[in-house]
């Protein structure tokens, strides 16, 4: 008897029907799988290929539900909150995780159950792929490599937030309810070992690159990049320091091992070597125009630096990855002023000569956005920056009658309810050619892995593997592209330089949230309040003078949010209550019982 192509999957403890074809097609979608007959799929290589394409379409990305991960750490503040507060204000709990699991409207493809759904679909592929009469073995092996990578990436997305997961590598049906309800989490070590092995398997099966309509598929270089990140994180203090907070070892190894740093360094170097040998390169198309280079990384899709991305299309084709241009630009342009950079983040950008910016320096204070690390200008919109044909106006001034008013991008401009709370707006990822209010968005891809990250992975791993010369060499590749002075420091100052580069180079790319946790400094940096800047223009006619008043942790009106990080439990997210109720055998993360 034939039956409609519906399978049952378990989100750890619950069995539910999971097969649905995506209602949104991305570049890799070739054919809808709705109501396809089961026997037809696994006897038709073209349908199997379409099934694999749908796995790409279920890979999550950033920018969902208006809540950037940057607004759940010390990079930005979300003007209208959208359930970021449990993380930023320290009351995350198993019953309320907020935007780290589904966002305000629950539409996030990174949600726990959605990620597990894709893992379940990958397992179905592995259970059936040997039935398929592929015309050539190379195609079968390549698809196995692609799904191996996708499943590993999905597991990593869970492990990165919650720690060890149950390692499920087969599909479950209605007859397996008893078995499913008894599943337990594997240890952190077992998870990392599994991920590394899967990355190696995928790398061996995949080509280093694709062209034409296949561009965007997983490659051997992408598998090596994932392995680099997995091993770097696994070597970090949060996961490797000996502690007694987790007797089940769900969130760290049982014993420390300094050799993990060397493994991380070797993995990063292998990924870089493979990337360079196969035509990948840091995006440096515009030479000394650093701002244009850093804009191009994210605006010029499929460029030489991108190792793997979640591809999006136009809004007209219903394949764009969210409405970030509408949600995050300055209010005076008709945008919503969403994820707004904090003053602490902006202040951390160095001067162009490599020295620290300081409000105590009268030259810096008189013109705070001049002569800074040029990556600032590609990341943040500050007062006076050119955007969409005019200068950003976040200054305030007095009218002739003495009453206060302000520029077009303050609360005195249009859409006052969308005024940036910090006095800054995001520029990174935003398309300057987008017509505000048109909802006509150009294609934009979420970059999961790029070459720039690999050099920073290598620098960090080399540093802790006692190879400071190697760390400096890797770090200065990124500094050179940014046209910043080379780092010559050693010891603590070298480590501070590595931290700086990750903060600036990878801003808003969902690294900082995890970096401060794995380094175990979140209890310091995330217990600082978020503040902004007040700018007052003086004079009745040009040339005007400007006074800049930075916020402090207690100063008003630039105190944006009182923030709190509860250590040690907030180093990991809690397993949500409904999952624990379904299967108590999962085991809760430390501090949330």
**What are the boundaries of each domain within the chain?**
1-61+109-186, 187-310+465-502, 324-440+530-561
Residue 551's pLDDT band (boundaries 50, 70, 90)?
Answer: confident
Q: Exposed, middle or buried: residue 525 (CB in 10 Å: 0-12, 13-18, 19+)?
A: middle
- Overall average pLDDT of the 43-64 stretch: 93
Tokens of 322: 């969210």
* 346-401 pLDDT tens trace: 999 999 999 999 999 999 999 999 999 999 999 999 999 999 999 999 999 999 99
Residue 182's pLDDT band (boundaries 50, 70, 90)?
Answer: confident
* Residue 352: predicted pLDDT: 98
Whether the pLDDT of residue 307 is over 80: the answer is: yes
* Residue 23: predicted pLDDT: 34
Residue 37 DSSP code:
B
Place of tokens 């570049």: 27
Residue among 454, 488, 484 nearest 473 (CA): 488
Residue 170 DSSP code:
S
* 108-161 pLDDT tens trace: 668 999 999 999 999 999 999 999 999 999 999 999 999 999 999 999 999 999
Dihedral sign from CA coordinates of 239, 244, 250, 254: positive
Residue 272 sits at φ, ψ, to 5 deg, of -65, -45
Residue 211's pLDDT band (boundaries 50, 70, 90)?
Answer: very high
* Residue 570: predicted pLDDT: 98
The three-state (H, E, C) secondary structure of 304-359, written as one string? CCEEEEECCCCCCCCCCCCCHHHHHCCHHHCCCCCEEECHHHHHCCCECCCCCCCC
- The count of residues in the chain is 593
Please state, rounded to an integer, the average pLDDT across all residues of the chain: 91
CB 499 within 8 A of CB 475: no
* Residue 505: predicted pLDDT: 98
- Overall average pLDDT of the 484-497 stretch: 98
Q: Exposed, middle or buried: residue 386 (CB in 10 Å: 0-12, 13-18, 19+)?
A: exposed
Write the class of the CATH domain 1-61+109-186. mainly alpha
* Residue 262: predicted pLDDT: 98
* Residue 24: predicted pLDDT: 35
Whether the pLDDT of residue 239 is over 70: the answer is: yes
Tokens of 284: 């440096």
């Amino acid at each position: 008897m034939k039956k409609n192509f519906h399978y049952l999957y378990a989100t750890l403890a619950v069995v539910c029907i999971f097969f649905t074809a995506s209602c949104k097609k991305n570049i890799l979608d070739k054919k809808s799988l709705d109501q396809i007959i089961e026997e037809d799929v696994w006897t038709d290589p073209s349908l199997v290929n379409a099934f694999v394409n749908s796995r790409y379409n279920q890979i999550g990305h950033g920018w969902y539900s208006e809540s950037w991960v940057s607004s759940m750490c010390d990079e930005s503040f979300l003007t209208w909150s959208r359930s970021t507060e449990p993380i930023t204000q320290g009351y995350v709990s198993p019953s309320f995780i907020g935007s780290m699991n589904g966002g305000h409207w629950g539409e996030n493809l990174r949600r726990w159950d959605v990620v597990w759904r894709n893992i379940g679909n990958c397992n179905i592929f592995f259970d059936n792929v040997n039935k398929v009469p592929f015309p050539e073995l190379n195609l079968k092996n390549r698809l196995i490599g692609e799904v191996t990578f996708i499943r590993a990436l999905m597991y990593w997305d869970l492990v990165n937030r919650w720690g060890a997961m149950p390692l499920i590598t087969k599909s479950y049906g209605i007859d397996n309810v008893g078995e499913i309800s008894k599943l337990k989490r594997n240890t952190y070590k077992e998870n990392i070992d599994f991920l590394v092995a899967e990355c190696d398997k995928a790398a061996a099966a995949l080509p280093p690159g694709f062209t034409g309509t296949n561009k965007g598929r997983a490659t051997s270089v992408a598998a090596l990049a994932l392995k680099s990140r997995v091993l770097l994180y696994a070597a970090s203090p949060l996961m490797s320091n000996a502690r007694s907070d987790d007797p089940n070892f769900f969130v760290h190894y049982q014993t420390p091992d300094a050799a993990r740093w060397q493994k991380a360094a070797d993995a990063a170097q292998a990924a870089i070597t493979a990337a360079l040998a196969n035509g990948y390169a840091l995006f440096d198309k515009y030479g000394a125009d650093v701002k244009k280079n850093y804009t191009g990384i994210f605006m010029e899709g499929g460029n030489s630096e991108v190792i793997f991305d979640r591809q999006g299309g136009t809004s007209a084709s219903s394949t764009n990855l969210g409405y970030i241009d509408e949600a995050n630009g300055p209010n005076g342009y008709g945008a919503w002023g969403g994820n707004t950079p904090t003053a602490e983040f902006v202040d951390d950008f160095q001067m162009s000569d490599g020295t620290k910016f300081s409000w105590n320096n009268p030259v810096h204070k008189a013109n705070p956005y001049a002569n800074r690390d040029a990556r600032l200008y590609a990341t943040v919109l500050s007062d006076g920056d050119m955007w969409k044909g005019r200068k950003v106006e976040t200054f305030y001034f007095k009218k002739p009658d003495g009453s206060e008013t302000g520029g077009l991008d303050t609360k005195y401009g249009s859409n006052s309810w969308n005024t940036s709370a910090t006095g800054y707006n995001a520029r990174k990822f935003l398309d300057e050619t987008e017509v505000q209010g048109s909802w006509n968005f150009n294609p934009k891809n979420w970059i999961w892995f790029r070459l720039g990250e690999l050099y920073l992975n290598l620098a960090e791993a080399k540093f802790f593997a006692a190879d400071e010369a190697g760390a400096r060499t890797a770090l200065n590749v990124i500094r050179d592209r940014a046209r910043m002075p080379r780092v010559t420091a050693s010891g603590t100052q070298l480590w501070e330089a590595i931290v700086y580069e990750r903060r600036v180079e990878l801003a808003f790319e969902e690294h900082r949230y995890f970096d401060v946790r794995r380094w175990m400094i979140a209890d310091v940096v995330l217990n600082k309040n978020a503040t902004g800047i007040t700018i007052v223009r003086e004079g009745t006619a040009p040339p005007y003078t400007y006074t800049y008043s930075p916020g402090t942790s207690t100063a008003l009106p630039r105190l944006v949010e009182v923030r709190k990080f509860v250590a040690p439990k907030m180093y990991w997210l809690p397993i949500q209550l409904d999952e624990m109720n379904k299967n108590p055998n999962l085991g809760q993360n430390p501090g949330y019982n």
